Structure 1
Amino acid sequence: MRRALYLPPFGELAHPGVLADLAVLAEEAGLDGVFLWDHVVRPLNPGLPVCDPWIALAAMASRTGRITLGTRVTPLSRRRPQVVARQSVALDQLSGGRFVLGVGLGGDNGGELGRLGEVTAARDRAKMLDEGLDLLRRLWSGEEVHHEGPHYRVDGLRFLPPPVRRTGIRVWVAARSAKEAPLRRAARFDGLCPEVPPEELREMLAVVAEHRGGLEGFEVAAGGPPGEDPEPYREAGATWWLHQFPEVTARREVEEVVAGAAPGGAA
């Protein structure tokens, strides 16, 4: 099971340079990745500084050479697929193919979506997510794209360059239950970001395996607070364990977890 940090880019961590420093520490400590929350505002904590995760990931990619970097997760409904296509390929190039795009519906906590005029109905956001993901794959192909959908349009354009990896940018899809639709969506892509206990994860992966015809090459990025035992998740099928930090986290707290995760550390 690979290990990573799952960081909130808020408060003391709301600076690309700080996040890049922590990514370097994680790589030096032997961790396998760093993932960032993707939010533009925290309405329930209005005084909390927020960093753009995509800019931070670029800083992290430029200062590391091995670890996987990504979002967990990007609510695709509040972003234009063509912009995500450009930014994700740029990150993919900068990182040498180490970027992972984690996607999901997101949530309207405190009006994070609605107060910015974004779509709030979960069913509508799910439709936008599915259409956006299909369009992203086509844009990443480098081929000419013709698309006229309910939410997005591309009229005979090519997006170059393509991703570094011949198989394209990896996409991990979030799911909070064993409901059919999110798991069917995840099965079409490269991984799952589950937000469930281990016993429910087994059920989820059985559904994914049925849709995919197996789980070979499929990543499962589970997470929990520092100190939680990842073994039940590994036994349930998780391939990644993300040390998940709360919304307000001090830099020192992350550094202590990284030090404990290094060979010979306490973690």
Structure 2
Amino acid sequence: MRHAVWIPLFDELADPRAVARLAASAEEAGWEGFFVWDQLWWQPPVSAVADPWITLTAVAVATERLRFGPMVTPVPRRRPVKLLRETTTLDVLSHGRLTLGVGLGSDRFAGEFSRSGEELDDRIRAEQLDECLQILTAGWSEETVVHRGKHYVVDSVRFEPRPVSGRIPIWCAGFPGKPKPIRRAARYDGYFPVNLTSPDQVASAVEAVSAERGSLDGFDVVIALSPTTDVRPYAEAGATWCLTDFDPESRLADVQAVVKAGPPR
């Protein structure tokens, strides 16, 4: 199992310079990944919130080996061609270390969709997510992208440069037990079951993805656990990455202490 830090970019962690220093410390301490939340705002008492993409640019420059990315970016609130340019540029900057975590997003935590005029229907956002992923994977290739879908149009455009390895790994998030996110994830590179409560949910996810793909070769099952949770039962259930998760109100000093202690052994 590989281990990563996963932090909300809130308040003291809303400073990209502080986060870049934290990422450098994580790399030095032996962590293998560094991921950040993608939120526009959050509930009180959180007030300051940083942009994940600019913050990840600072992380890319401050590190050399860490795999990093947004976990997860709510793709339906982004324009596909803009996201394509951002991801490719960040991947090139980091010499191929970007992983793209994607999902529908949710309005229930901070009202990000209802308070900014975004689409609230989960089914429509799922359609938008699937279309956007089609555009991304085509644009990362050497193809000329011709896409005329229900929600987006890209008319005969070739996007250069390409990602360093030809494409960027995609991890798809979903609530455990929901079949559609698992089927989506099986078409890409990883599955992130959010809000886990037991290793049995990981085992069920591994079984479901394996049934869809026929093989788990080159596929990641990603989990998020608090710093004090025993990761071993989850590794035995088939998880390949563990993201050490921090509370939205975490202070910088507390995160620094966990990071400097290194990943679970």
**What is the TM-score with the length of structure 2 in the denominator?**
0.96
Structure 2 residue 165 is the aligned partner of structure 1 residue 154? no
Whether the aligned pair in 1 keeps the contact of 2:10 and 2:46 (CA below 8 Å) is no
Distance 2:124 2:131 in 1: 11
Whether the aligned pair in 2 keeps the contact of 1:142 and 1:161 (CA below 8 Å) is no
Aligned partner of 1:103 in structure 2 is 102
Aligned partner of 1:253 in structure 2 is 254
Aligned partner of 1:52 in structure 2 is 51
Structure 2 residue 25 is the aligned partner of structure 1 residue 32? no
Distance 1:148 1:205 in 2: 34
Whether the aligned pair in 1 keeps the contact of 2:46 and 2:249 (CA below 8 Å) is no
Deviations 1:59-82 (A, max 9, x none): 000010001011110110000110
Give the direction of change, closer, same or farther, for the CA distance of 1:92–1:201 in structure 2 (3 Å limit). Answer: same
Whether the aligned pair in 1 keeps the contact of 2:12 and 2:251 (CA below 8 Å) is yes
Whether the aligned pair in 1 keeps the contact of 2:46 and 2:248 (CA below 8 Å) is no
Distance 1:56 1:87 in 2: 13
Tell me how many residue pairs correspond in the alignment.
Answer: 262
Structure 2 counterpart of 1:156, which letter?
Answer: S
Structure 2 counterpart of 1:230, which letter?
Answer: V
- Deviation of 1:199 after TM superposition, in Å, equals 0.4
- Deviation of 1:142 after TM superposition, in Å, equals 3.2
Aligned partner of 2:81 in structure 1 is 82
Deviations 1:2-57 (A, max 9, x none): 11100000110001101100000000001101000011112x22751000011000
Whether the aligned pair in 1 keeps the contact of 2:41 and 2:110 (CA below 8 Å) is no
Distance 1:178 1:185 in 2: 13
- Deviation of 1:259 after TM superposition, in Å, equals 2.2
Distance 1:198 1:205 in 2: 11
- Deviation of 1:110 after TM superposition, in Å, equals 3.2
- Where does structure 1 differ by over 4 angstroms across 4 or more consecutive aligned residues? none
Unaligned runs of 5+ in 1: none
Aligned partner of 1:200 in structure 2 is 201
Identity among equivalent positions (%) equals 45
Whether the aligned pair in 1 keeps the contact of 2:223 and 2:242 (CA below 8 Å) is yes
Distance 1:17 1:138 in 2: 34
Structure 2 residue 13 is the aligned partner of structure 1 residue 13? yes
What secondary structure, in the 3-state scheme, does the structure 2 residue paired with 1:99 have?
coil
Aligned partner of 1:191 in structure 2 is 190
Aligned partner of 1:214 in structure 2 is 215
What secondary structure, in the 3-state scheme, does the structure 2 residue paired with 1:110 have?
coil
Give the direction of change, closer, same or farther, for the CA distance of 1:26–1:127 in structure 2 (3 Å limit). Answer: same
Distance 1:239 1:84 in 2: 27
Aligned partner of 1:178 in structure 2 is 177
What secondary structure, in the 3-state scheme, does the structure 2 residue paired with 1:242 have?
strand
- Deviation of 1:177 after TM superposition, in Å, equals 1.7
Whether the aligned pair in 1 keeps the contact of 2:76 and 2:128 (CA below 8 Å) is yes
Distance 1:94 1:233 in 2: 33
Deviations 1:235-257 (A, max 9, x none): 11101111100111111111110
Distance 1:97 1:238 in 2: 23
What secondary structure, in the 3-state scheme, does the structure 1 residue paired with 2:90 have?
helix
Distance 1:103 1:48 in 2: 24
Distance 1:110 1:238 in 2: 29
Whether the aligned pair in 2 keeps the contact of 1:6 and 1:242 (CA below 8 Å) is yes
Deviations 1:123-179 (A, max 9, x none): 11111111111111111113211111111001111111111013x100000011222
Structure 2 counterpart of 1:223, which letter?
Answer: A
